[in-house]
């Protein structure tokens, strides 16, 4: 019996028919969300407990077989699928337990396979929220969100995933379990290990459980969609809002008319609520814990100033939950609209927020120079300076030819030159490893390789994600 056949038999016996999928049953797990990456796995392990995760990882370690953790498989950089055939995909989808929230500590313990939207629903009755929101929340899992250090639309107020994790339990690459499930904010007992696993993209171990930070549920909201003439106006009005009501802003999301057009044409059930279309749009949400805060009045005063200065052309304030949800859908369906339009190139960059106008102007010019007629669709998180600078090919052109890598390098290099990042919130996965090697200084990449080597000397945890595996020379992007 070959080592791999023996390993498959061991894992099948350990996990049972629900817990070990092979052959055609594994197909649904083997390609990434954008269908760009993936190789045939030996099988998909679906353990139901931390002990089973540890047993799977230990068996793979003993057999020298790579393991790639997989959550909801909504990651946009190809990190949750295999680079080479024959490895094991370890899906956390059966680990979905949610403990009762602890109101005094404002925390909750969950298993890694809990889907984000399910956590939101569970908390709805408790007067508490877990304030992470993103378009993929119906599928993305807590483990995946931690492993990618996800950001989303509320990061401006509540931080990224690393700011929302108090404690972690992780199965290490040799199968040992590290239990760091401490529900405390203050824990300076040496290196901040939990932060190391936030953003490690499954290359240092498998996150199995987490203690997450909760916040009081807002009791009032003001949500508005505004139409604006240009990017400098977006920045000016964003600055004005932050000065007037910064502590209440929970979302400050922008998109452009091209993106709106694609979403309206392709996504069912969207409606545009203003009479005239505009070049740019800003979705503003302000929330407060007390109904005594005059949110609507605060917002309207700032809006009036924005209209008077010409920063804002028009706007609508949601008057009920249905309208609020409809406004948010216009923003959340931006990725789906562009996906349904056809081929696209995604770039997830950040720059210091005050330089967003300069970045967008220079990047548009650069793209037009490289591929005349290219359709640029920047949208994202205004307050974080985080743009999804996504491209669709010129009208009637089938795609980007062989320009994709060069466009990615140039856009990433421009963001870096402005003091930002070529990988703002989606991580590196397999898609941006070469870009990271090119754009980050050698000591930074060497430090990462040293951490990887120290924790996973056999290089079996998700090889090829975040860092090239030593001795290989894959052209990932």
Q: Binding residues for ligand FAD, per CB under 6 A?
A: 33, 68-76, 79-80, 92, 112, 134-136, 140-141, 143-145, 147-148, 150-152, 201-202, 206-207, 335, 425-426, 429, 462, 465
- Pairing between β-strand 220-228 and β-strand 314-317 as defined by DSSP bridges: antiparallel
Nearer to ligand FAD, 284 or 465 (CB): 465
Nearer to ligand FAD, 304 or 472 (CB): 472
User: For residue 297, how many C-alpha atoms fall within 13 Å in the half-sphere facing its CB?
Assistant: 4
Question: Dihedrals φ, ψ of 179, to 5°?
Answer: -100, 100
Question: Of the candidates 223, 382, 231, 236, which has an alpha carbon nearest to the alpha carbon of residue 309?
Answer: 236
- Pairing between β-strand 220-228 and β-strand 215-216 as defined by DSSP bridges: unpaired
First to last CA, the chain: 37
- Structure tokens, 255: 């998109």
SS3 label, residue 285: strand
Query: In Å, what is the CA distance from 398 to each residue of 113, 342, 374, 403?
Result: 38, 9, 11, 13
Shortest distance (Å) from residue 445 CB to ligand FAD? 18
- Structure tokens, 322: 């249905």
> Cα dihedral sign for 127, 130, 135, 139?
negative
Nearer to ligand FAD, 311 or 332 (CB): 332
Nearer to ligand FAD, 152 or 408 (CB): 152
- Structure tokens, 19: 């817990």
Shortest distance (Å) from residue 331 CB to ligand FAD? 10
Shortest distance (Å) from residue 308 CB to ligand FAD? 33
Query: In Å, what is the CA distance from 175 to each residue of 27, 67, 91, 170, 196?
Result: 26, 11, 16, 9, 18
Nearer to ligand FAD, 20 or 33 (CB): 33
Nearer to ligand FAD, 315 or 335 (CB): 335
Shortest distance (Å) from residue 90 CB to ligand FAD? 8
Shortest distance (Å) from residue 120 CB to ligand FAD? 15
Asked whether the beta carbons of 460 and 66 are under 8 A apart, the reply is: yes
Shortest distance (Å) from residue 409 CB to ligand FAD? 22
> Cα dihedral sign for 211, 216, 221, 226?
negative
Nearer to ligand FAD, 212 or 293 (CB): 212
The CB-nearest residue to ligand FAD is: 144
Give CA torsion, residues 424, 41, 70, 463, to 10 deg.
Answer: -50
Query: In Å, what is the CA distance from 418 to each residue of 151, 351, 368?
Result: 21, 6, 20
Nearer to ligand FAD, 150 or 363 (CB): 150
Crossing angle of helices 50-63 and 3-19, rounded to 10°: 170
- Structure tokens, 124: 């709805």
Query: How many C-beta atoms surround the C-beta of residue 373 within 10 A?
Result: 11
Shortest distance (Å) from residue 34 CB to ligand FAD? 8
Given phi > 0 = left and psi -120 to 50 = alpha, else beta, which region is 166? alpha
Shortest distance (Å) from residue 172 CB to ligand FAD? 11
- Structure tokens, 155: 């990061």
Shortest distance (Å) from residue 430 CB to ligand FAD? 9
Distance CA 106, CA 121 (A): 17
Shortest distance (Å) from residue 455 CB to ligand FAD? 13
Nearer to ligand FAD, 30 or 74 (CB): 74
Shortest distance (Å) from residue 296 CB to ligand FAD? 27
Nearer to ligand FAD, 295 or 330 (CB): 330
SS3 label, residue 427: coil
Nearer to ligand FAD, 340 or 376 (CB): 340
């Amino acid at each position: 019996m070959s080592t791999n056949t023996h390993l498959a038999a061991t894992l099948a016996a350990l996990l049972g028919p629900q817990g070990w999928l092979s052959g055609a049953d594994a197909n649904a797990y083997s390609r990434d969300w954008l269908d760009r990456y993936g190789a045939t796995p030996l099988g998909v392990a679906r353990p139901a407990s931390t002990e089973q995760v540890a047993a799977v990882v230990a068996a793979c370690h003993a057999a020298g077989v790579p393991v790639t953790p997989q959550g909801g498989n909504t990651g946009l950089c190809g990190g949750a699928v295999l680079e080479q055939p024959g490895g094991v995909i370890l899906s956390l989808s059966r680990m979905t337990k949610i403990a009762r929230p602890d109101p005094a500590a404002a925390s909750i313990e969950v298993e890694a396979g809990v889907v984000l939207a399910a956590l939101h629903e569970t908390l709805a009755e408790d007067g508490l929220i877990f304030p992470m929101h993103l378009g993929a929340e119906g599928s993305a899992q807590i483990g995946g969100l931690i492993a990618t250090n996800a950001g989303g639309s509320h990061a401006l107020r509540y931080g990224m995933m690393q700011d929302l994790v108090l404690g972690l339990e992780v199965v290490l690459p040799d199968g040992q379990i590290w239990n760091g499930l401490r529900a405390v904010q203050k824990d300076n007992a040496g290196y901040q290990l939990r932060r190391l696993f936030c953003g490690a993209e499954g290359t240092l171990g498998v996150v199995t459980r987490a203690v997450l930070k909760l916040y009081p549920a807002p009791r009032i909201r003001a949500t508005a969609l505004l139409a604006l003439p240009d990017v400098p106006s977006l920045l000016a009005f964003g600055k004005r809002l932050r000065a007037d009501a910064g502590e209440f802003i929970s979302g400050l999301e922008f998109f452009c008319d091209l993106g709106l057009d694609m979403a309206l044409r392709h996504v069912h059930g969207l409606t545009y609520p203003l009479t005239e279309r505009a070049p740019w749009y800003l979705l503003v949400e302000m929330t407060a814990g007390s109904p005594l805060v005059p949110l609507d009045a605060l917002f309207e005063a700032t809006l009036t100033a924005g209209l008077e200065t010409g920063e804002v052309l028009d706007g609508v304030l949601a008057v009920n939950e249905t309208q609020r949800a409809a406004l948010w859908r216009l923003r959340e369906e931006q990725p789906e609209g562009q996906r349904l339009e056809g081929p696209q190139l995604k770039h997830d960059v950040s720059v210091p927020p005050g330089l967003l106008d300069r970045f967008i102007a220079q990047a548009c010019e650069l793209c037009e120079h490289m591929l005349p007629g290219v359709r640029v669709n920047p949208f994202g998180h205004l307050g974080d300076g985080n743009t999804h600078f996504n491209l669709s090919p010129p009208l009637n052109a089938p795609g980007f030819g062989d320009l994709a890598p060069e466009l990615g390098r140039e856009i990433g290099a421009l963001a870096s030159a402005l003091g930002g990042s070529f990988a703002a919130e989606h991580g590196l996965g397999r898609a941006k490893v070469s870009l990271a090697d090119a754009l980050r200084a050698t000591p930074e990449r060497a430090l990462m390789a040293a951490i990887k080597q120290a924790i996973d000397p056999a290089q079996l945890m998700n090889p090829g994600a975040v860092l090239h595996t030593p001795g290989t020379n894959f052209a990932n992007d």
